[in-house]
Amino acid sequence: MATTATYTVSGMTCGHCVNAVTSEISQLDGVTDVNVDLSTGAVTVTSDAPLDDAAVAAAVDEAGYEVVK
């Protein structure tokens, strides 16, 4: 059963930012879809099972951005 979680990411300003965040999160085990709304910073992640928020935050950090708590 797929689960969906939404995170708010700060610092994204362009399509390259969106691609970087999408690419890093997509590499996490179980992720099936990543949808980024550049205007709001909302990142919706669909996965096969609930994700560890710390793993998502680490992936966003790896892309050079930050999950806003």
For position 48, what pLDDT does the model report? 96
Q: Domain span at residue 16?
A: 3-68
Q: Rounded to 5, what percent of the chain is helix, strand, coil?
A: 35, 35, 30
Tokens of 58: 């680490």
Does the pTM surpass 0.95? The reply is no
What's the pLDDT score for residue 1?
80
Q: How many CB atoms lie within 10 A of CB 17?
A: 18
End-to-end CA distance of the chain: 26
Percent of the chain scored above 90 by pLDDT? 97
Q: Please state the domain count of the chain.
A: 1
The reported pLDDT for the residue numbered 69 is 76
Residue 60 has what pLDDT? 98
- In angstroms, rounded to a whole number, what is the distance separating the alpha carbons of residues 49 and 10? 25
Provide the CATH number for the domain around residue 37.
Answer: 3.30.70.100
| Beta-ladder partners of 36 | 43
Query: What average pLDDT does range 27-43 have in this prediction?
Result: 97
